[in-house]
Structure 1
Amino acid sequence: MEEEVAPSAAGAIDAVEAVDLGGTAAAAPDFTFFGMFMQADFVVQSVMLMLLGASVWCWAIIYDKYKRLREVREKADDFENEFWSGNSLEDLYDRTRHNPDHPIAMLFVSAMREWQRSTTNRTGKIAMGAQERIYRVMHVTVSREMERLEHYLSVLATVGSTAPFIGLFGTVWGIMNSFQSIASSNNSSLAVVAPGIAEALAATAMGLVAAIPAVVAYNVLSNDLGRYANRMEGFAEEFGTILSRQMEEEHH
């Protein structure tokens, strides 16, 4: 009789263990990024979505600025080659004034337009103060064109400086929730703590993913824009010297 009951009891124990293991496996946390996002608290989810949006925005700005800088450098090379080729500046102005599609062309067109306005129609002489006005126009054009090129660049600086702290906020919030779960369940085992901490640390990782490319791109683009600004100022000085020399010849 005892030999018949023992196998039956052992089977029942095995069945209970199987059900327990099956339930544990079913309730096992998903440690993929998407799984941690879905299991996270609403605040942590909001932080992750905010950082993801900031990262996408930064990459769009980086791509746009890189493409635009490469385009204006190539066009500036072609324009300066033509400018210094010895051909007539009036002919170059006539071809460029209707569609100045890069900053140095805009600088040239602005200066030449002011040059022509400063020439009286009756005598062909240069009006008084023309040189000062031309330099002022070129200075304003350089500032305006550089402002256009630098547009949205401050977004990279802002994301690079704030994203790690936003991610840290999500981490702190998630760890606080983990400690509350420990207190409510009276269980401090790693199986209870690990999912919440992993979800919290994912927010910090998202902050770094958004911040690091933004900081690197901001530094690189700032240097490139600084060099291009120096190039525009150098062209303005050289072009101003040419116009000044021509003014002196007109007066003599």
Structure 2
Amino acid sequence: MATTFAQQATGARRAAAGLTAGLVLGATGAAWAQTSAADGAARAAATVPHDLSALGMFLNADGVVKTVILGLLAASVVTWTILLAKGLELRAARARLQGSLDRLDDAVSLDVAASQLTGPGDTLALAFARAAEAEQALSAGLPAEGVKERVILRLERLEAKARRAIVRGTGILATIGATAPFVGLFGTVWGIMNSFIGISKTQTTSLAVVAPGIAEALLATATGLVAAIPAVVVYNVFARKVDGYRVLLADVSAAVLRLVSRDLDRAQAGGRAGALTRGRAAE
């Protein structure tokens, strides 16, 4: 019986020793896992780029995000180029039309107006005058009201052509203003998706690991806004300037039509005076 008790005591000691060894191994494994996780987070944080300037974030961004940002920067360059080129073109065109309008207002007949529109800036107004003269020549001897209607039709076509020419190139501003924010948002979504993938790979949610990737993604949205806001503003400015140009076109057309009407009235008055003179001579 003593032997049996000794055997039981020995078994109990062995079980206690095994349990102690298991607890020690478990604690050691947990500590090793914590150390490995900490080391992994430290290594991930060490590999994260610390240059959070705009250029640094761009250089460390994903290839897709870089492509989006470069495309948006190119769109911004296009916007500023159109602003300079089209702004100068509109200013010069309005100045030329205003000068031509002054000469048309001073003319007493369409022939006189055409002879005065000889400057390099009078090309458009001269085209209006020549079109009116051509219609008058083709409609010689026909009723005056019909001549005026046909002249108006010719002048309207010239106005439409001039309007299309002056707004050429401004439509791209509306396109940039409407699409640039969404293109930037695409780059942001792509960058944040890559940040989440990085979180799953490093198995850490440390802000030091996640923040740079999110910042790079948000840079795409910021670039989209930088491209879109000036494009919208410039487009609205050009819309107002083009409206002023259209008013000048209408004024030039009205001035030419006024000269046509004056010439037709003179012709009719001359015809009546000639008929009256011939009638008196016959008497």
TM-score band w.r.t. shorter chain: 0.7 to 0.9
Residue 219 (1) aligns with residue 236 (2): yes
Shift of 1:234: 2.8
Show the counterpart of 2:191: 174
The structure-2 alpha-carbon separation of the partners of 1:231 and 1:159, relative to structure 1 and needing over 3 Å to count, comes to same
Show the counterpart of 2:216: 199
Shift of 1:89: 4.4
State how far apart, in whole Å, the 1-side matches of 2:241 and 2:185 are.
32
Mapping 1:142-161, distance limit 5 Å: 142-161=159-178
Identity of aligned residues (%): 37
Show the counterpart of 2:258: 241
State how far apart, in whole Å, the 1-side matches of 2:57 and 2:142 are.
73
**Which of 42, 58, 69 is the equivalent residue of 1:37?**
58
State how far apart, in whole Å, the 1-side matches of 2:230 and 2:83 are.
9
Which 10-residue stretch deviates more, 135-144 or 88-97? 88-97
State how far apart, in whole Å, the 2-side matches of 1:117 and 1:201 are.
62
Could you tell me whether the CA contact under 8 Å between 2:73 and 2:223 is conserved in 1? Answer: yes
The structure-2 alpha-carbon separation of the partners of 1:231 and 1:95, relative to structure 1 and needing over 3 Å to count, comes to closer
Shift of 1:83: 2.5
Amino acid at match of 1:65: K
**Which of 100, 108, 115 is the equivalent residue of 1:79?**
100
Amino acid at match of 2:243: G
Show the counterpart of 1:7: none
Shift of 1:88: 6.0
**Which of 49, 57, 67 is the equivalent residue of 2:70?**
49
State how far apart, in whole Å, the 1-side matches of 2:135 and 2:163 are.
26
Tell me the TM-score normalised to structure 2 length: 0.71
Amino acid at match of 1:208: L
Paired residues, number? 225
Shift of 1:141: 0.9
Shift of 1:237: 2.2
The structure-2 alpha-carbon separation of the partners of 1:67 and 1:164, relative to structure 1 and needing over 3 Å to count, comes to same
The structure-2 alpha-carbon separation of the partners of 1:126 and 1:194, relative to structure 1 and needing over 3 Å to count, comes to farther
Shift of 1:62: 1.2
The structure-2 alpha-carbon separation of the partners of 1:156 and 1:209, relative to structure 1 and needing over 3 Å to count, comes to same
Shift of 1:117: 2.6
Amino acid at match of 2:187: G
Deviations 1:17-65 (A, max 9, x none): xxxx9x9778642212221111111110110011011110111111111
- Name the structure with the higher helix share: 2
Bigger radius of gyration = 2
Amino acid at match of 1:151: R
State how far apart, in whole Å, the 2-side matches of 1:134 and 1:89 are.
13
Could you tell me whether the CA contact under 8 Å between 1:126 and 1:247 is conserved in 2? Answer: no
Show the counterpart of 1:114: 131
Amino acid at match of 1:138: L
Shift of 1:76: 2.2
Which 10-residue stretch deviates more, 190-199 or 80-89? 80-89
